[in-house]
Amino acid sequence: MKKLSARRRHPLAALVVLIFALAATGGLYAVLAPAGEAKADASAQSLAIEEGQKLYAVGCSSCHGSGGQGTSDGPTLVGVGAAAVDFQVATGRMPLQQPGPQAPVKPNIYTQAEIDQLAAYVASLGPGPAVPEPSQYNPAEGNSAKGGELFRTNCSGCHNFTGQGGALTHGKIAPNLHDVDPKQIYQAMLTGPANMPSFPDGVMPEQEKKDIIAWLEATNSEAAPSLGGFSLGGYGPVSEGLFAWTFGIGSLVAAAVWVGARTAKARKS
C-alpha cells in the first residue's frame, strides 16, 4: 500500500486510474445490463444488416444509390421489402448485367446466406413484405380449381391461360411459369417485380395465392401430366390452328393426291 501511495503522483497514475474506472464501469454494465434473447437476435440482425450493407455497396449501389435511395439507373429500394430482394437475387435477375428492357433470369452468384443479409439490409431501409414462410406457399394446401379461376382473372392476360408467358411492349416479356419455385411465384405476386403489378394480401389473400400456386403446380410443371399428349406449347388457338392447317390439312391434301395418282402399271406386253 505504501508502494502504491508512493507512486500516486507518477505521471501515468491518472491513466491507470482511468483504465480501472472504465474497466469497472464496463464490467458492471456487462453484469447488470438485461442480456436477453431479444438482444442476441437484435445483434445477429444488426450483423446481417451490416454484412448486407457491404454486399449492397459492392453489387447494388451503383444503380440503386449508396443508401437505396435510387438513381436515374435504378429505382429506390426503400420499402420494397425482403421478399423483393430474395426474389430478384435468387432468380439471378439482380444484380443487372447490363441495362435493357427487362432483367433476364441468369445464374445466381450469391449464397442463400448472402441473399438473406442483402434482404435484411434492404428491409432495414423501410417496411415492406417479408420473405414468406414455406407454409404460406405450400401447393398441397391450395385448391387448384379455384386457383385456375383466379389465374384466368388476374394472371392470364400477360402469362397466357396456361402460364406459358407472352410478349409485352418494347421488348418486355411476361415469363413462362413452367416449374418456377412456388416461393418465387408467391414473392412475385406479393412484390410485383419489374413491370408486373403486385397483388397484395388486401386484394388477393394468402390462401388465394396458394390456390394459384397449386393450379400452376398441377398444370404447368414437370410433374404435371400432359393429358392430351402433344400440347404444341400450350399457346392457344393460333399455334394450334397453324399446326392443323399446315400439317393436318397438308397431309390430307397429300393423301388425296396420292389416292388419285397413277397406280402402278404392269409392264407393257
Partner 1 sequence: MSSHTESHNEVPDRLSSQEREEGAVIVAEDPFADPGMPPHEHRIQDIDERAAKRSERTVALLFVVSMLATVGFIVSYALIPIDQITYIWPFGDVSALNFALGSTLGTALFCLGAGAVHWSRTLMSDVELVGERHPVEASPEVKAQVLEDFAKGAEESQIGRRTLVRRTLYGALALVPLSGLVLLRDLGPAPGDKLFHTAWEPGSLLINENTMQPLRPEDITTGSLTHAMPEGLDFHDHDFHAQIAKAAIMLVRIEPEDIKDQQSADWGHEGILAYSKICTHIGCPAVLYEQQTHHALCPCHQSTFDLADGARVLFGPAGHPLPQLRITVNDDGFLEALGDFEEPPGPSFWERG
Query: Between residues 71 and 153, which has the closer beta carbon with respect to partner 1?
Result: 153
- Shortest reach from residue 196's CB to partner 1, in Å: 7
Q: Tell me the closest approach of the beta carbon of residue 262 to partner 1, in angstroms.
A: 9
Q: How far is the CB of 263 from partner 1 (least distance, A)?
A: 5
> With respect to partner 1, which residue has the nearer C-beta, 5 or 263?
263
Residues found near partner 1 in the complex (CB under 8 A)? 75, 150, 153-154, 157-158, 166, 168-169, 172, 174, 192, 194-200, 202-205, 208, 225-230, 259, 263-266, 268-269
Taking the complex as a whole, the smallest distance from the CB of residue 166 to partner 1 amounts, in Å, to 7
Dihedral class, residue 180 (left if φ above 0, else alpha if ψ from -120 to 50, else beta): beta
Residue 41 or residue 201: which is nearer to partner 1 going by CB?
A: 201
Report helix angle 37-59 to 112-125, nearest 10: 100
CB of 152 to partner 1, least distance (A): 10
d(CA 138, CA 140): 5
Nearer to partner 1, 34 or 197 (CB): 197
CB of 168 to partner 1, least distance (A): 6
Per-residue exposure over 216-233, b if at least 16 CB sit within 10 Å of its own CB, e if not: bbbbbeeeeeeeeeeeee
Among 173, 171, 160, smallest CA distance to 238 is for 160
Residues in the chain: 269
**First CA to last CA across the chain, in angstroms?**
143
Question: Cα 8 vs. chain centroid, distance in angstroms?
Answer: 66
Q: Which helix (H) or strand (E) holds 166?
A: strand 166-167
Of 31 and 264, the one with the shorter C-beta distance to partner 1 is 264
CB 52 within 8 A of CB 121: yes
48 versus 122: smaller Cβ distance to partner 1: 122
